[in-house]
Amino acid sequence: MEYSATCKCGDIKIIASFPSSIEEYQARECDCDFCISHGLAYLSDVNGTIAFSPKSHMNQLKQGSEQATFWQCSRCKQVVVVTSTKNGETRGAVSKTVFEKDFSLKASVNVSPKRFSPKDKAERWPTVWSKVISMVSEC
Ligand SMILES: [Zn+2]
């Protein structure tokens, strides 16, 4: 199933392709200060893909252990996607807030990644995050 959405101002387009209906996923809510301040919870499926563009209109934020990149619209400041690249493969998750205005999503679950070491987190992501593919209409 393919789902598309935009950031609040419409500049950034996000496409998520998940094997199941997006309404069946529970977003994972992180309890670190960065994610709480941005109101972030993440949706992904290990067998799904995520694409977003244009990257030229986005800020790349780093936080915590700096292994992940948070993609923020440079205009409306909404964080829409988080990604991490390891061994040449980029995986990521979409922010729940991007899709919750158009879809009735389940309540988030708290995953408290603070309990995981940076190494544990990096090893866990490939088991839950979707593959990030680039979008054709890069401008
Ligand atoms: Zn925006």
Report how far residue 51's alpha carbon sits from residue 113's, in angstroms, rounded to the nearest whole number: 24
CA of 87 to the centre of ligand 1 (A): 30
> Domain total for the chain?
1
CA of 13 to the centre of ligand 1 (A): 9
The string of pLDDT tens digits covering residues 12-50 is 999 999 999 999 999 999 888 888 888 899 999 999 999
Residue 133: inside a domain, yes or no?
Answer: no
Do the beta carbons of residue 67 and residue 118 sit within 8 Å? yes
CA of 9 to the centre of ligand 1 (A): 4
CA of 6 to the centre of ligand 1 (A): 8
Tokens coding 104: 């009735």
CA of 10 to the centre of ligand 1 (A): 5
State what percent of residues in the chain have pLDDT above 70: 93
DSSP labels, 66-121: S-SEEEEETTT--EEEEEEEETTEEEEEEEHHHHHTTS-PPPPEE--GGGS-HHHH
Residue 124: inside a domain, yes or no?
Answer: no
CA of 74 to the centre of ligand 1 (A): 7
Indicate which CATH number applies to the domain containing 9. Answer: 2.170.150.70
Residue 138: inside a domain, yes or no?
Answer: no
CA of 50 to the centre of ligand 1 (A): 17
The string of pLDDT tens digits covering residues 66-118 is 788 999 999 999 999 999 988 889 999 999 999 998 899 999 998 876 667 77
Do the beta carbons of residue 65 and residue 119 sit within 8 Å? no
Domain range enclosing 112: 2-117
pTM: 0.87
CA of 60 to the centre of ligand 1 (A): 14
3-class secondary-structure state, position 4: strand
Identify any residues that bridge with 129 across adjacent strands, giving them in sequence order.
none
21 Cβ neighbours under 8 A, 6+ residues apart: 1
